[in-house]
Structure 1
């Protein structure tokens, strides 16, 4: 009997792997054609006489409430010039990042046939790390001065837990998150569970769209932080259950377990010091993974379902 069950499990795994390989073959065959437009370079090398041409090519980069003198002054500003020079030096060749973006676009086109390849434009933003990537139906803006490496001199004074992801390998991860937000719908985000499932959806979306990235890269953890989350999954889940946090609407809970932070706040000194921030996002990710494993649901359908429906049908069991 045990031997029979092992054979059945092996067959299921082989079929699943074969299906996954077929999907990736089809995805890799999708033709995606785009040019990375280096607005950062164009603006950095421009003079006042080039402004009219730049505004014609990139009208959305020049808000109308700023007059031409504002942009000319910015061209001549020494800090702006240093920002541009450092960005160009770090990203003189954008080919590796373009390859990652191409793979993301191929996956998006496969799962969302209505997806149209947008213009991809790099710019500088005076290190506006709250808006590293902006995605619309037709344009992707990448603030490359927020990806110069976590130890770059521009980032001194920014907390470590934020700048650990100011690395070039996070560009496509942040793009995938921006698209996940665009394609996800969830009416209710009132309880801790609502928030956990919402961010779990975004992380599962990354699983599908950027499978070439590691789990640590997808969630923005170091490998050590991810290892801690996996090793303590059972404890975390029991804490949420014992303290009856899942359905709580306490406004402090997102800052404790969901929002970016140096650590999660269990109010247990030793645990807090060791834990990574956003641990609620990690648990939500595991719940959504379990839901997709145990239910015959498409990615599109899952992204529109409410948190309680996903949780109630996930059959989630934390690893011990």
Structure 2
């Protein structure tokens, strides 16, 4: 139980509870997005054409799920989503951040193909036909990527970063990036709504370990300000750290095979770059642009791999 003096919650607990609640919001928005996506797929039964149906599902899921969920949470928490353009003097930073994740993806693809005979398609678990036309790539990959970028940009930068900034302003980027990384690596996705027992268990475990991780980051962030050793932590804080450690260990043991792990970490790096750019420019459009360009380049590189016969290596 959290103890308080004169109704004031201790700083350790306030930060830990705040970060834990923020992670719970991420899981809730993810589940909401899955529900929206399921309804969107049902609605597209009346849409003519597979490519148009995919585009509609992507738009509704990303904008009505991720983006709307992020905006609703930001409104509830009174967070500023920073929808303005980059602040004066930060346009060069905005450009660098927009291009950096895509450049990193190209470098990883070159290294993977030349050094390890492993293409970017194997790393990201995406495949593109070598015969795909430019028009089909735009409809089936580039436009959906733009929708997804808006959703994740608002969620990870406008919501996670701003939520962390209220609690730990001096470490907002690093803490937000760690929360986003764990959320991305956990078995939570925006696919079909979790209705099977296995899917429900995955969501529950992700919620438990994710909230524990967020709370552990809060405890450690406040504790490191003092010179007291970790053994001086209260029992409830030690329990949170232990549970978070179990979750992190589980994630570490699940990071296989190596190629797919590199692909996941490439996404994590892209999110981290976007978060850093958001802090420097104070505009959510910068990480949105960075993620959109990043995903477009992923598709372009994978398409080139397919044309060169490298996609299945």
Give TM-score, length-normalised by structure 2: 0.28
Q: Give the strand-richer structure, 1 or 2.
A: 1
Give TM-score, length-normalised by structure 1: 0.28
- Tell which structure's C-alpha radius of gyration is larger: 1
**Higher relative contact order, structure no. (Cα contacts within 8 Å, ≥ 6 residues apart):** 2
